[in-house]
Amino acid sequence: MARPLEARKRKTLKEDLEFFRKITADNEIQGFLVGIPMSLGGKITESTKNAEFWVEQMKSFSLPVFTYDESLSTQDAYSILQETTARKKHKEKKDSIAAALFLEEFIRASD
């Protein structure tokens, strides 16, 4: 079952990789899922290139690395937040909820 973890703001590459090492050790992580953002027209964007960089970084953990189109996951998260939480909490929770929704969608599509 997918569950949201705390969203992390980027720091240095070294600090970010250490964060992933710690989260992998502290949780039962069996692999990584990297969202590949595409434009609505299906074109590669700067965000797509950034995601591909992270795919390569995550391979250093010797765990499976999966990719999946993350288009519209943030919009789905906003829909859920509007129904369940106060508006001022939306921004701080949207990334974590979007990630959990994205993971659940990937798992369903993989069955």
What total of structural domains would you count in the chain?
A: 2
Mean pLDDT of 101-111: 82
Please check the confidence at residue 83 and state whether its pLDDT lies above 70. Answer: no
Are 79 and 60 contained in the same domain? no
H helical segments located in the chain? 13-26, 46-58, 73-84, 90-110
Are 81 and 60 contained in the same domain? no
Mean pLDDT of 18-43: 86
Is residue 15 one of the residues assigned to a domain? no
- Give the per-residue pLDDT at 81: 58
Is residue 103 one of the residues assigned to a domain? yes
Please check the confidence at residue 75 and state whether its pLDDT lies above 60. Answer: no
CA 78 to chain centre: 15
Within 13 Å and on the Cβ side, how many CA atoms surround 58? 21
Are 66 and 50 contained in the same domain? yes
- Give the per-residue pLDDT at 38: 72
Is residue 99 one of the residues assigned to a domain? yes
Report d(CA 101, CA 94) in Å as an integer: 10
Mean pLDDT of 60-72: 85
Are 77 and 103 contained in the same domain? yes
Domain of residue 85, residue span: 72-111
